[in-house]
Every structure is written in C-alpha cells, then in structure tokens.
Structure 1
Amino acid sequence: MSSEPMDIDTNNVSAEEIKNQANQEYKAGHYADAIRLYTQAIAASPSTATYYSNRAAALTMIKKYKEAADDCRMATNLDPDNVKAYLRAGKCHMNLGNLDEASRQYQIALSKDAGNAQAKRDVYNLQQLGNYVGQAEMFMKNKQWGLAVNSLDRALSFVDSDAVPFTWRLWRAECNLGQKNYSEANRLANELVRMDSQNPDALFLRAKVLYMQGDNAKSVAHCQESLRCDPDYAKARVLLKKAKAMEAQKEAGNTAFKAGRLQEAYDLYSSALEIDPENEGTNAKLYSNRAAVLQKQKKYQDALADCNKALELDSTFTKVYSRRAACYMELEEYEDAVRDYKQLSDAEPGNREYHNLLRKAELELKKSQRKDYYKILGLGKDASDSEIKKAYRKLALQYHPDKNAGDEKAEARFKEIGEAYAILSDPQKKQRFDSGVDLDGGMGGGGFDGANWLMKKHYKFFEAFAFLFIFALSFICKTISPFDQHSERHL
C-alpha cells in the first residue's frame, strides 16, 4: 500500500515528470494516486491529450466510466488521431449502456487504424452485446420474462458486473416482477430509488412492485412522486388511477362488513376484483375478505373456494389458511382442517392460538373416525334434548323389528339407534361423548392414564347395558301392538 502522495510543486517539476510518476502509480495499481498526479500534470499542461487519455485509463480501473468518457473526449478533441482514447471511450460507453455511442467510437478507431486487433475484438463484443440487449427487449415486450432474464444475463457478461447500467438494472427488476419474484423485485427497486430518488422510471417500478404486493397506499405515493418528476409519465398516471380505485373499493367493502351489511360488502369486494385481475396482492386480500363474508353467511363451500383463490395468488397469506381451516371445521372436513392448522403451527411455533386450534381439529378428527351417534339419529351436534328424543322415537318406530320382520339390516339399525339414544339421552355420557374422553389418549391425545382406564372400563359396561336395554325394549314391544298410540308414546 502506498503512502498518501504529496502534491508536486509544478514550478520545479515538469508536467511530463509528473505524468511519469503517475504512470508508476498506475502500474502499481494505485489508481487514486495516479488520478491525482495525472490531474496535476493536466493543470501544468492542459493541452496535452496523453494526460487526459491516461487519466481516463485510471478512472476506468475504478469504474468511473462517465468521468473517463469525458476525459477521452478531451483527449480526442486535442488529438483526433489518438486511437487509444477512442477505444477507451468505446469501452466506457459500453459499460454505461450507450451502445450507439460505443459503436461510433470504435468505428472512428478502425477508420484511424483499420488493422487494429483490439478494435476488431471490441466491435465484435459490442455486436454480441447489442444482439442480447435486443433479444431481452423483445422478450420483455412479449412478457417472456424467463427468456428476457437469460438474454439480459448474457448481455451483462460483456460489461462490468459491478457497474451495470441503470436502465438494465430497471429491466432486471421488471423481469423479477414479471416472474412474481416480489422479494427480489422489491430489493432491486429500492436499490434503484436509492441510486436516483428523482428517476421517474425507478419510482414507477417501485410503485408497481408495491401495487402487485397489495400495498396500494404506498403505490399511490410513489406514482405521485414519479409524476412530480415527470408530469407526462402516462404509465404512472394509469397505475395511480387503478391503485386508488382498488383501495377505495376495498375500504368501502371493509366498512360495510364491519357494519354487518354483508351482502353490500360482498358486492363491493366482487366489484373491486374486476378492476385489475393482474393485481395479485390486492386480489388475494379481496378474495380473503369476501370469504369472511361468506363465512358469516354460513356459505362455507363458497368461502372455501374464495380462500383457495386467495392462496393461489399468495401462498404465504397466513390469515387465509386460518380462515380456510375454520370453514373445513364447519364442514366437518377435519383432515383438511388439521393440515391447515398444522401448517400454521409449524410456521409460527410460538403461536398458542394455532396450537390450540390444531389440537381441537385433531380431536374432532379422532371423534369423526368413531361411531357418530348424532349422525345415527340424523341430528347435528347442537341438537337439544327434545330433538334427540323426537328423532329417536321416529327412527325406533321406523326400524322396529315388528315392522321389519326378518330384516337383519333393520334390526342392526334398530340396535344402533337404541345405542345412540342411550348415550345422548344421558347427560353424563353425552358430555363424555361430546368432549371426546372416550377416545384413546383422552382429550386430543394428552390426558391421565388412570382416567383413560376408567373411561374404557365404563364404556364396556355401557355396551353391556345397552344390549340389555335393547333386549328389554324389544320384549316389551312384542307384547304391545306397534301401531298402538300408547306404545308410540313410550317409544
């Protein structure tokens, strides 16, 4: 590492001597020191083209291509036959993305020295670069984002990867947005805005990323900033209008939902979904919100459909998994509910609510896999005592052995109905059945082993009791006409 160079007294040292010292620093890789010395040489002799050309070479090494291109222009103005300066200018303009100007500089160099091998290589590379850039533009126009990225990557192989032209950075961000790689598009857009906070293209791209992620309020702000920088920016004006419309419609739907005006909320969310089918972020929220309306209306199948649409648009939308699981629970599709609650619990291991919901769903799944006494009686799980009794009487009469002589299936059904009624008509047994304590593992898999043993023992006792009860009931019914009103009243 060189020590910080002292400014040379140009009164005692010639410009050429300063240039020679600068050349030594350049060869040693001390480009900043070389640039300082070349600057002193230029100050001592501002009409010497070589000093500008040499400083351009040093500036190129530290990736200051614009300043280097300016020095090359000064060098060629002072010395129109300086082929090195034209070649350096061509390289600078390639790295700046100014392909037409790079081509012009190389052509001048060849006109001065037709056999220059370096110039021929640079022209060939420039042609390749131009082809890939043209392909990238065509693919982007056709929304073939993967092909566009491939062509852009090939183009970037010809320039300095640490100093990619601003326009090409914009293209890369736009391709990521087109591929729905929102996190990377967001990172690149933020980077571009930091590089140039007054660039309308960068501000518009940032607005578009926010819009696609469903953050309409911030998208509106960036569109407005883009239009402030360029009032004639048509794309920003169109996006601004859409973002405002979608946000207004969504908020109106939210207001109606909170006020309990469910049909109005449903209609507002549906209208908002028609504004822009490509706005995946907001549309995912709209489908989720509409699912909440349908859930309130107990239209669980329709709510599930909207939850699925929301997740198709945004698979990371946590709230939708919770909402979908709740719909599965209402529809008694417990395996699906367990799957969604498990995904939520795995994603947020510290969330106690998700853990409890998962345990509840697992318990309901276990309960659904045993004999369902409510279904046997054709009832819902919220049936009242009178509804249980009424259903039992009706079914017992329908499947009574005296009415179905010789029908083994009817007899089995009659026994099953009696078993169901014996459980559901007894408050303690019903409570145990409803809570799931009769399942192996107790309440959802935990529980006390001694309590489990008692539950199992009691359940076996009940089975014996149920058999005796059905036998006695059958005996009584045989001595009484099944069509007698008194008999029916007892059933």
Structure 2
Amino acid sequence: MENSIEYVKNLMKEREYRKALTILENTLLKCDKDLESIPLSNGKKSILKSENLNGIPIQWRLLRAELLIMNDDYNEAMNVADLMLIRNSKNSEANSLKTKLLYITGKSNIKNTIGHLREALKYYEKNENAKLLIEKIPELDEKRKYINENFFKKELYEETIQKYDELIEEYMEINLTECIECTNKAIRILKNIVFTNGEPESINEYQNCKQDSLFVELFRKRSECYMNSKKYHEAADDYEILIKLDKNFNNYGTSNNNIYKNKLSNAKSNNESERMEKSEKYNNER
C-alpha cells in the first residue's frame, strides 16, 4: 500500500494526474474489500463515492481530493472536504482544502482565503499545506497583476502568453488550477493573437487555426470552472464551442464530442432550473 501511495505521489510530480487518481482509487479498493467501484459516466473520472470512504485514512482521502482538483472534479473534492468537516469541523486540513476550493472556483477573494487558512492553522499549526498557500496565493496574485499591467495592457500579447504560461506552471506546482479570471485572460490574449479583430467570425474559425488544441484546453478548463461556480449559461456557451472543436476520444474510447453534448445538456438544464427558481422566489416576494 505504501509503495502504491509513493508511486501516486511521483505521478503527481510528473503531472500524470488522471493516471495517479486511477491507481490511488484502485489501491483503495484493494485495501478495503467492502468498497465498490461505480461506473464512469458523463466524463466523471472517479470510480469511488466519497461517502463510502470513512474507513480510509484521512491522509489518503486528502490525497484523493487533491487529485480530484487536478482532474477538474471540484464538486467531488468539495464533497470530500464537507464529509470530513461534518465529522470534525475543526479538522485543519479539511478546512484548508475547502478554502482552497472556494478560492479556485472564484467564490472567495484573497483576503477571505488567507483569513480562513490562518483559522485552519489555529487548529493544527503544522499544517504545511495551509502555510504554503498563505505564502503563495498573494505572491502569485501579485505576479498576475504585474503581467496584466506591464504586458497585457500594453498589448504585448505574445509576451503575455509566455508570462501566463510561467505563472500557470507556478500555480500547478502547488496543486492550484487556474482561476476563471486567468483562463478568461488567456483566451482573450490568444484570440487577439490568432484572429484579425480579436474574435472569430464563427465557431468554425477555431477549427481552422493552428492553435485549435490550445483553445480546446482553455475552453475545457473554463467550462469546468463555470460549472463549478454555477455559471451555467457561460458554461453552455463554452460547451457549444468544444462540441465543434474537440473530435478526440478519451482513454476509455468515449468521444469527447459526446461528453460535451451531455455536459451542454446538463448546463442548460441547470440554467433553466436556476432561472425558474429565481422567478419563483421573485413572485413569492411580491
């Protein structure tokens, strides 16, 4: 078991996040014979239910949560944190995990994020992950502002892309995925580089440019961020583009195109449900 965990951590260093998650979860299945796997569907990457992992050591559950984050499954990672906090609201690592997720999904600003991380440290002063985030999040945000002021606003787009690549590398080193703002900026920059007026005349233009694979990655990342932030209308717009752009298959032989169609349907359904809920609330308040 310990050898498998070390192997998973090495895969994380190599950024083989999907493989690392698969190996970790298969290891947990072997470790606990009562666990049952669930079939993958709609682009899900986890074969385990977090609710069934109470018998698994906390550190392994936290490791799984980090891998879920790096595989863009923020909802399930948040589920891990919430389940741990239900059992112990003062669990330092679960608190810092939840705080990080709120920051990643744009639901917490830097000031609040740092405040909550400091609270987590009060519960366990040796929480090294919280200490690292307290140090790095403001530092990386200052770098982001510097890039914006000194490159993007001066329309130095190629230099901006390069600087953002370097910044994203630093985010990835501490298992922080890019926030919506960073991804938005990267898409805007790439559009300015590729398209004459900074915007394609139609979705088809994305397919015909040399940077189509980069657009796929950026729109994929942003669409997941939008869904996790409950910005369903914006997510649906991105899925429309991805359906046109991404014709590849995943490791399980499933068409990415079909996955995005399912996600588009979910986004539209969630958007309609939210619209009706707001309408009902408005009518009740009148």
In the superposition, the TM-score normalised over structure 2's length comes to: 0.51
State whether structure 2 residue 56 is matched by structure 1 residue 171: no
Secondary structure of 1:205's counterpart equals: helix
Larger Rg computed on CA atoms: 1
Look up the equivalent residue of 1:277 and give its one-letter code: M
In the aligned structure 1, how far is the partner of 2:53 from the partner of 2:164?
A: 45
- The one of 138, 154, 176 equivalent to 1:244 is 138
State whether structure 2 residue 130 is matched by structure 1 residue 262: no
CA change 1:139–1:294 in 2 (3 A) is closer
Q: What whole-Å deviation, never above 9, does each CA across 1:52-110 have from its counterpart, x for those lacking one? A: xxxxxxxxxxxxxxxxxxxxxxxxxxxxxxxxxxxxxxxxxxxxxxxxxxxxxxxxxxx
In the aligned structure 1, how far is the partner of 2:123 from the partner of 2:177?
A: 27
Q: Is the 8 A contact 2:96 2:117 kept in 1?
A: yes
In the aligned structure 2, how far is the partner of 1:200 from the partner of 1:157?
A: 29
In the aligned structure 2, how far is the partner of 1:202 from the partner of 1:241?
A: 19
1:457 aligns with: none
Q: What whole-Å deviation, never above 9, does each CA across 1:199-254 have from its counterpart, x for those lacking one? A: 22222333444465566736534432222333343332222222223333345556
Q: CA deviation at 1:135?
A: 5.5
Moved more, 302-311 or 180-189: 302-311
Secondary structure of 2:170's counterpart equals: coil
Q: Is the 8 A contact 1:200 1:229 kept in 2?
A: yes
2:187 aligns with: 291
In the aligned structure 1, how far is the partner of 2:93 from the partner of 2:270?
A: 42
Look up the equivalent residue of 2:21 and give its one-letter code: W
CA change 1:155–1:212 in 2 (3 A) is farther
Look up the equivalent residue of 1:262 and give its one-letter code: E
Q: CA deviation at 1:289?
A: 0.9
Secondary structure of 1:275's counterpart equals: helix
Secondary structure of 1:197's counterpart equals: coil
- The one of 146, 152, 170 equivalent to 1:275 is 170
Q: Is the 8 A contact 2:104 2:177 kept in 1?
A: yes
2:268 aligns with: 348
2:79 aligns with: 187
In the aligned structure 2, how far is the partner of 1:269 from the partner of 1:188?
A: 30
Q: Is the 8 A contact 1:174 1:205 kept in 2?
A: no
CA RMSD of aligned residues (A): 4.7
Could you tell me which runs of 5 or more consecutive residues in structure 2 were left unpaired when the two chains were aligned.
12-19, 36-50, 200-208, 227-233, 246-256, 272-286
Q: What whole-Å deviation, never above 9, does each CA across 1:129-162 have from its counterpart, x for those lacking one? A: xxx5x45644544443323222323433479x98
1:199 aligns with: 91
Secondary structure of 1:262's counterpart equals: coil
In the aligned structure 1, how far is the partner of 2:223 from the partner of 2:177?
A: 11
Look up the equivalent residue of 2:60 and give its one-letter code: W
In the aligned structure 1, how far is the partner of 2:76 from the partner of 2:95?
A: 16
Alignment of 1:274-423 (within 5 A): 274-277=169-172, 279=175, 281-282=177-178, 285-296=181-192, 298=196, 301=209, 306-317=214-225, 319=234, 322=237, 347-348=267-268
2:251 aligns with: none
In the aligned structure 2, how far is the partner of 1:199 from the partner of 1:254?
A: 37
Q: What whole-Å deviation, never above 9, does each CA across 1:155-188 have from its counterpart, x for those lacking one? A: 33479x98935x7244224214314232212111
- The one of 27, 30, 41 equivalent to 1:151 is 27
Alignment of 1:11-26 (within 5 A): none
Q: CA deviation at 1:190?
A: 1.6
1:230 aligns with: 124
Could you tell me which runs of 5 or more consecutive residues in structure 1 were left unpaired when the two chains were aligned.
1-131, 329-334, 352-491
